Amino acid sequence: MVASTSLGPELDLTTLAMALEGAEYNPEQFPGLVYHVKDPKAALLLFRSGKVVCTGSKSAAEVRQAVEKTIKLIEKTGAAVLKEPEITVQNIVASADLGQNLNLNAIAMSLGLERVEYEPEQFPGLVYRMNEPKVVLLIFGSGKVVCTGGKRPQEIEAAVENITAELRAAGQLQ
């Protein structure tokens, strides 16, 4: 899950890098400070503007916990930050297993070339851009599927249900 928020005013990343144990800050390579929270497991990218991107969490609740832990540590440095920032989920990445091997060449033809990218010499999976919900599915010959682009778990579930139904209707899935 990828989520973003703003902690309010500008942050002094150099001070935070020294105060947050394990923080990585190299502004010549990347303009943000990278801070890893162990429990719940998450990585936070903090920017001078006060914007924060949280990635690696498994749920919105874990994102909130990671952000709250980081806020408490930032407050200890004397920096002023929002106590309860609004957090917005930007992207959910999830995987599924359709339970059987798939013929990606046949699937590429049956799903329609306007929404499919399949170049096995470049990438072993088929890229399918679903219209509803608006997500991208990576479909592999093993039957594994990676879904990205959803903002709510229900969108991911609907996408897997939809692709399963489409593949069954096309005779590509039993």
User: In angstroms, rounded to a whole number, what is the distance separating the alpha carbons of residues 127 and 129?
Assistant: 7
Share above pLDDT 70 across residues of the chain, in percent, rounded to a whole number: 100
The answer, yes or no, to whether residue 112 has pLDDT greater than 90, is: no
8 Å CB contact between 111 and 127: no
Give residue 80's pLDDT: 86
User: In angstroms, rounded to a whole number, what is the distance separating the alpha carbons of residues 12 and 48?
Assistant: 6
Q: How many CA atoms lie within 13 A of 45 on its CB side?
A: 12
What is the pTM assigned to this prediction? 0.82
User: In angstroms, rounded to a whole number, what is the distance separating the alpha carbons of residues 125 and 86?
Assistant: 36
The answer, yes or no, to whether residue 128 has pLDDT greater than 90, is: yes
Q: What is the largest CA-CA distance in the chain?
A: 62
Average pLDDT over residues 74-95: 92
20-32 as b/e: b if 16+ CB within 10 A: beebebeeeeeeb
8 Å CB contact between 13 and 30: no
The confidence band for 151, taking pLDDT boundaries of 50, 70 and 90, is very high
Q: Render pLDDT for 46-84 as a digit per residue (tens, 0 to 9).
A: 999 999 999 999 999 999 999 999 999 999 998 889 988
Give residue 159's pLDDT: 97
The answer, yes or no, to whether residue 24 has pLDDT greater than 90, is: yes
Put the strands of the sheet holding 33-37 in their side by side order: 33-37, 42-46, 51-55, 2-6, 88-97, 144-150, 135-139, 126-130, 116-117
Give residue 30's pLDDT: 96
DSSP β-bridge partners for residue 145: 96, 139
Give residue 120's pLDDT: 95
Domains of the chain: residue spans and CATH: 2-86 (3.30.310.10), 91-169 (3.30.310.10)
Classify residue 3 by its DSSP letter: E
What is the signed CA dihedral for 121, 124, 126, 127, rounded to 10 degrees? -90
Give residue 113's pLDDT: 84
